[in-house]
């Protein structure tokens, strides 16, 4: 069974550009989470989907970030316009239930120059 997959694995963009990150959760997992780790800082929660609904988006940094999960399958996280401080590794995780183990993808390393 395929694990959580994220695309792209790396992205380098210029300040002001738009980037869209994609996460394909494990099939059948209703819960999908986005996290971010900025260099030198701890991993931080961004938001949580249950199927296509946003359960908790309290960790989203600002309105330049937009997450969607149309159809309750894969999710996208768009950053528009990107700023230098958005650089970091973005992780996606999924779980079948809210409790229990969440499985992480390999992450997308975003560099804004």
Q: Which residues bind another protein (CB under 8 A)?
A: 4, 31, 33, 41-45, 48, 56, 58-59, 91, 93, 95, 98-99, 101-102, 104-107
Q: Nearest distance from residue 33's CB to another protein, in Å?
A: 6
**8 Å CB contact between 21 and 11:** yes
Select 80 or 106, whichever has its Cβ closest to another protein. Answer: 106
Q: Nearest distance from residue 9's CB to another protein, in Å?
A: 8
Token reading at 57: 């988006």
Select 11 or 95, whichever has its Cβ closest to another protein. Answer: 95
> What is the C-alpha radius of gyration for the chain, rounded to an integer number of angstroms?
13
Which residues have a Cβ under 8 Å from the Cβ of 12 and sit 6 or more positions away? 111, 113
Select 65 or 91, whichever has its Cβ closest to another protein. Answer: 91
- What is the Cα–Cα distance from 110 to 19, expressed in whole angstroms? 9
Q: Nearest distance from residue 91's CB to another protein, in Å?
A: 5
- What is the Cα–Cα distance from 39 to 82, expressed in whole angstroms? 16
Q: Nearest distance from residue 43's CB to another protein, in Å?
A: 4
């Amino acid at each position: 069974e395929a694990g959580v997959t994220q695309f792209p694995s790396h992205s380098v963009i210029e300040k002001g550009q738009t980037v869209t990150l994609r996460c394909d959760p494990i099939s059948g997992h209703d819960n999908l989470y986005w996290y971010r780790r900025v260099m030198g800082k701890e991993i931080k929660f961004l938001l949580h989907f249950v199927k296509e609904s946003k359960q908790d988006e309290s960790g989203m940094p600002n309105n330049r970030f937009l997450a969607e999960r149309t159809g309750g399958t894969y999710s996208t996280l768009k950053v528009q316009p990107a700023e230098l401080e958005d650089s970091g590794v973005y992780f996606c995780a999924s779980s079948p239930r809210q409790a229990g183990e969440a499985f992480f993808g390999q992450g997308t390393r975003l560099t804004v120059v």
